[in-house]
Amino acid sequence: MVALEALHDSAESFPQPRCHPETREKMLGELQEWSLGTDPSSNVLWLHGPAGAGKSAIMQTLSYQLQDAGRLGGCFFFKRGHATRGNARALFATIAYQLAIGVPWLKGPISQIVEDNPSIVGRSIETQLRELISEPCRTSKHRDPVTILIDGLDECEGHHVHLEILRAIRNSLADYLPLRVIIASRPEAHIQEMFESPLYHGSCHLFNVQQSFDDVRKYLCSEFARIHHEHRTMANIPHPWPLPNDLKELVWKSSGYFIYASTIIKFIDDKNYRPTERLAIVTDQNSTESHSAFGSLDQLYMTILSTAPRQAQLMPILCALANFDLSPLVLDLLFEMESGDAQLVLRGLSSVFEVPLDDDEEILTHHASFYDFLRDSRRSQIFYVGSLDHRMDLARSLLKLFACHYRDECIVEYPGKSPKGDLILFITSLPPSAELLPLIQAMNPDYIFELQELEMMIPWLEKIHPAPKDLIGLWEDYLYMHFILGETRWAGRN
């Protein structure tokens, strides 16, 4: 079966995402140099990056560059859920078809194999690769390398299929064959583990799609200039537009990747609205219409979250990470999980989180816009972390953690950034609740808090009915002690 829809110039996928002019130039140059090189250190390259990093645009652009250079062997652009583009069984038959019609020295051998054995296209993935591609290359005396591009490996069906494809490539494509293979995917844990395994050791080049704030800025400036020129309602809008501070904020929100930037440009460029009004919606997070600006971005985030394993444990962790900078180790302590469980829960979310191998290092997000998504109920829906129930659950876990450690006389030095620094700010953002009083009473304000936090906590306690006078008195005593003694000793402890 040949999936013509998966080709780089398929009519179905028109217009294809491609890199904006003057962006990703260094990266594309390095990829092209690797592809055209006569003696690379390896014949497989893994192009990896988080969701929305622009991998498909890079692969599309590279495919045309290699085609112009006469070195494109074939392409397959996977698409999740698509009848043919999501079918891994069509992968190597489709690439063999392109090799046969586009590479003169392979046309005869591949055509002969299919003529002699038409059933080959129904055989296993590894058999197709070996007999349709590897063997014809092995018997040819031609040695100018051609490159095969496989985009979105993680988009085809099932982890086991991803690994089957990677094993087939390594087992069937010897280093001396005139083939280069570039595989693009998200850094899913099972794919990364395969590339780092002994099977691929020393035979695969790892290439990370790095953040590029400069490229995003170039793209936004170019697109805003085009919108300003094309929209008739912009004739009386002075330059610069947007204002420098607004542009700076948009570039920062992109986290150096193009998915956020391209999404807001599509929204602002709608010919049925004034661009100035649409920009105002994007920059005003409190706008009642702001959620409508991020439809494609939200769909991406929803797909990632809904396919993540261990959903029951996921929501508390998302809520914690949306409010505090934490390490996997602290998450394990916070939610009373077994050591290493937080890393397992987040294993399927490598597209949005950078989860460290060391459990005492801070978990980072690839996209600053991801937390905006989680905090907006209209956008994140079932993954909304701002509900009172979720926030109260988190507050109980935080208070229980510190109260437990104090009762056990265990002064814990948390690795990385501890949640205690923002704990009182978080607690006082909740409606005053008597439900939290037993846990607050079990804490030692002297150990945990500074003067400013004590000053915030007392008015919050006073709003509870009936007022916990003894607890308020205790905190007032600590506040007075801080005032008299100063903060030097306590600040040094934090």
Q: Contact 23/251 with Cβ under 8 angstroms?
A: no
In the predicted model, is pLDDT for residue 453 greater than 80?
no
Q: Is 202 left (phi over 0), alpha (psi -120 to 50) or beta?
A: left
Q: What values do phi and psi take at 67, rounded to 5? A: -65, -45
Mean pLDDT calculated for residue range 79-103: 93
Mean pLDDT calculated for residue range 268-281: 93
Q: Highest mean pLDDT: which of 22-26, 41-45, 408-412, 455-459?
A: 22-26
Mean pLDDT calculated for residue range 137-147: 82
The DSSP symbol for 432 reads P
Cα(348)–Cα(339) distance, integer angstroms = 18
**Within a 10 A sphere around the Cβ of 95, how many other Cβ atoms?**
26
Cα(256)–Cα(52) distance, integer angstroms = 10
In the predicted model, is pLDDT for residue 292 greater than 80?
no
Confidence of residue 173 (pLDDT cuts 50, 70, 90): confident
Any long-range contacts for 80-87 (C-beta under 8 Å, 24+ apart)?
80/152, 80/155, 80/156, 80/303, 82/5, 84/1, 84/3, 84/5, 84/6, 85/3, 85/5, 85/6, 86/155, 86/156, 86/157, 87/1, 87/3, 87/156, 87/157
Q: Contact 332/339 with Cβ under 8 angstroms?
A: yes
Q: Please name which of 67, 119, 70 lies closest in space to residue 93, comparing C-alpha atoms.
A: 119
Residues 133/135/137/139 CA torsion (nearest 10 deg): -160
Cα(16)–Cα(358) distance, integer angstroms = 39
Confidence of residue 418 (pLDDT cuts 50, 70, 90): low
Confidence of residue 481 (pLDDT cuts 50, 70, 90): confident
Q: Highest mean pLDDT: which of 56-65, 418-427, 481-490?
A: 56-65
Confidence of residue 411 (pLDDT cuts 50, 70, 90): very low
Mean pLDDT calculated for residue range 239-251: 96
CA atoms within 13 A on the CB side of 462: 9
User: What's the token pair of residue 330?
Assistant: 């602290």
Query: 353-354 and 72-77 as β-strands: parallel, antiparallel, unpaired?
Result: unpaired
Q: Highest mean pLDDT: which of 283-297, 349-363, 479-493?
A: 349-363
Q: Is 112 left (phi over 0), alpha (psi -120 to 50) or beta?
A: alpha
**How high is the pLDDT of residue 44?**
94
Q: Choose between 202 and 486: higher pLDDT.
A: 202
Confidence of residue 455 (pLDDT cuts 50, 70, 90): confident
User: What's the token pair of residue 144?
Assistant: 């100018």
Cα(248)–Cα(242) distance, integer angstroms = 10
Share of the chain above pLDDT 70, in %: 90
Query: Which positions ≥6 away from 140 have C-beta within 8 Å?
Result: 105, 106, 109, 178
Please give the angle made by the CA atoms of 9, 11 and 13, to the nearest 5 degrees. 80
Tell the residue number behind the tokens 């620094």, with chain if given.
421
User: What's the token pair of residue 32?
Assistant: 């092209």
In the predicted model, is pLDDT for residue 39 greater than 70?
no
Kindly report the CATH number that applies to the domain delimited by 4-208. Answer: 3.40.50.300
Cα(186)–Cα(194) distance, integer angstroms = 13
**How high is the pLDDT of residue 169?**
95
In the predicted model, is pLDDT for residue 231 greater than 70?
yes
Q: Report CA torsion sign: 368, 369, 374, 377.
A: positive
**How high is the pLDDT of residue 307?**
86
Confidence of residue 486 (pLDDT cuts 50, 70, 90): low
Confidence of residue 422 (pLDDT cuts 50, 70, 90): confident
Q: Choose between 419 and 433: higher pLDDT.
A: 433
**How high is the pLDDT of residue 72?**
96
In the predicted model, is pLDDT for residue 255 greater than 70?
yes
Q: Contact 166/194 with Cβ under 8 angstroms?
A: yes
User: What's the token pair of residue 406?
Assistant: 């104090």
pLDDT tens, residue by residue, 326-358: 999 999 999 999 999 999 999 889 989 999 888
Mean pLDDT calculated for residue range 466-485: 82
Mean pLDDT calculated for residue range 169-175: 84
Confidence of residue 410 (pLDDT cuts 50, 70, 90): very low
Cα(306)–Cα(312) distance, integer angstroms = 12
Mean pLDDT calculated for residue range 443-457: 73
pLDDT tens, residue by residue, 369-398: 999 999 999 999 999 999 999 999 999 999
Query: Which positions ≥6 away from 238 have C-beta within 8 Å?
Result: none
Cα(254)–Cα(233) distance, integer angstroms = 27
Share of the chain above pLDDT 90, in %: 68
Query: Is the peptide bond prior to 15 cis by the omega test (within 30 degrees of 0)?
Result: yes
Q: Contact 121/128 with Cβ under 8 angstroms?
A: yes
Cα(481)–Cα(440) distance, integer angstroms = 19
Confidence of residue 490 (pLDDT cuts 50, 70, 90): very low
